[in-house]
Amino acid sequence: MSPRTLDQLIASDVTGRTVLVRSDLNVPLKDGAVTDDGRIRASIPVITKLSEAGARVVVMAHLGRPKGEPDPAYSLKPAADRLGELSGLTVTLAEDVSGESAREAAKALKDGEVLVLENVRFDARETSKEDAERGELAEELAALTGENGAYVDDAFGAVHRKHASVYDIASKLPAYVGDLVATELEVLTKLTDKPESPYVVVLGGSKVSDKLAVIDNLLERADTILVGGGMVFTFLAARGFDVASSLLEKDQISTCAEYLERAERLGKEFVLPTDIVVADKVEEGAQHEVVAADALAESAFGDKAIGLDIGPESAKAFAERIRSAKTIFWNGPMGVFEIPAFAEGTKAVAEAMTQTEGFGVVGGGDSAAAVRQLGFTDDQFGHISTGGGASLEYLEGKSLPGIDALS
């Protein structure tokens, strides 16, 4: 059964009703300021739509990984303030999750106003493995809506979690899918259900173990898989190369070798970098050079060489394949993009994705942060996902608890 939509909720008249919205405000902070407001911007359309329809909107969200108790470092105040600035709506922040402050603030809401509850992970029941504990918190959250309340899930970045504000709440109130979540699912379906060929998958990031299930599932669908980032060194080791002091997951070498063999057997193109940017330390201003991928230990740094980005030759080859693709999925940077000297590979991939005529998806997480930090804007890409982990789990073929709950 398909989830009920936000438009169906609004058509039923939400004037004066309190609607609980699970949004994704899990944004990076530095010195108490939001450094990338992409997820906040993505949350605004649904909150605004409900506000303009006369609803009293109560927003639930998490930020970071506090340990089940209040922690000022993870307060949602900077995110709530930014939400108010960007949306132009009247936004207030409760001092707790479902306690006295939340109850009083929810009761005081007027039509069109927005209340953000404090970080739901300040309550240990949010992430509890005990159904009864999560259910108890969900009951308290639902009670904030009074009579005739409703729930909207618009936090795609959290739908892979079986948490109280994502999963259990959907059984306590009439539940609807938010526009952002609906769009994300539509996009991911394009990547898994008869994607247009040639289909190129670009994978990066630090650990190969995080991407094994995606590779396993997409090897059947994709025509080409391009691999960069820290994860590439386990694949290079599987090819018998000495990767010096580069990041290496020794326990995954045999698995990587199996994927390389399987790709060859299926007639798929599995592309590893031919050159690598190496240094002997991961820091701004570090001396670095470009070496062949099969000769890392022969660089000036010897066995202390650390691979920190794909080289220019590889970046060019990756970009060519991306530009000529009809469907592209990219998850994970090609190098340590936070340091300019090791950002060129990631920049080349991002630039190629803005130049393709195909349908390109940036798979959330570090990839989304990278494209913005490197000066690209969201509208230059076919789609930037708000949920890296959720996107990967969907592409792995896993069910998503938050979506299951809505259906």
- Would you give the distance in Å from CA 127 to the centre of its chain? 19
- Was 338 annotated as part of a binding site? yes
- Was 65 annotated as part of a binding site? yes
Closest among 37, 122, 31 to 83, alpha carbons compared:
37
- Was 25 annotated as part of a binding site? yes
Q: Which one of 77, 207, 262, 326 is the catalytic residue?
A: 207
- Was 121 annotated as part of a binding site? yes
Q: Say if residues 288 and 277 touch (Cβ distance below 8 Å).
A: yes
Q: Which one of 54, 84, 99, 389 is the catalytic residue?
A: 389
Q: Which residue has the tokens 């899918």?
A: 177
The CA radius of gyration of the chain, in Å to the nearest whole number, is 23
- Was 372 annotated as part of a binding site? no
Torsion, Cα of 76, 82, 85, 89 (10° steps): -40
The answer to whether 17 is a known catalytic residue is: no
Measured distance CA(211)–CA(331) in Å, rounded: 9
Q: SS3 of 360, please?
A: strand
Measured distance CA(349)–CA(32) in Å, rounded: 31
Q: Which one of 365, 387, 388, 402 is the catalytic residue?
A: 365
Measured distance CA(137)–CA(120) in Å, rounded: 10
Q: SS3 of 289, please?
A: strand
Q: Which one of 39, 134, 221, 268 is the catalytic residue?
A: 39
- Was 161 annotated as part of a binding site? yes
Measured distance CA(259)–CA(252) in Å, rounded: 11
- Was 365 annotated as part of a binding site? yes
The two most distant CA atoms of the chain are separated, in Å, by 71
The answer to whether 321 is a known catalytic residue is: no
- Was 326 annotated as part of a binding site? no
- Was 383 annotated as part of a binding site? no
- Was 63 annotated as part of a binding site? yes
The answer to whether 41 is a known catalytic residue is: no
- Was 366 annotated as part of a binding site? yes
The answer to whether 365 is a known catalytic residue is: yes
- Was 26 annotated as part of a binding site? yes
- Was 62 annotated as part of a binding site? yes
Measured distance CA(21)–CA(169) in Å, rounded: 10
Q: Kindly give the pairing relationship between strand 275-279 and strand 306-310.
A: antiparallel
Residues belonging to the binding site for ATP are: 211, 307, 338, 364-367
Catalytic residues, by residue number, are: 39, 207, 365, 389
Residues belonging to the binding site for substrate are: 24-26, 39, 62-65, 121, 161
Residues belonging to the binding site are: 24-26, 39, 62-65, 121, 161, 211, 307, 338, 364-367
Residues belonging to the binding site for (2R)-3-phosphoglycerate are: 39, 121, 161
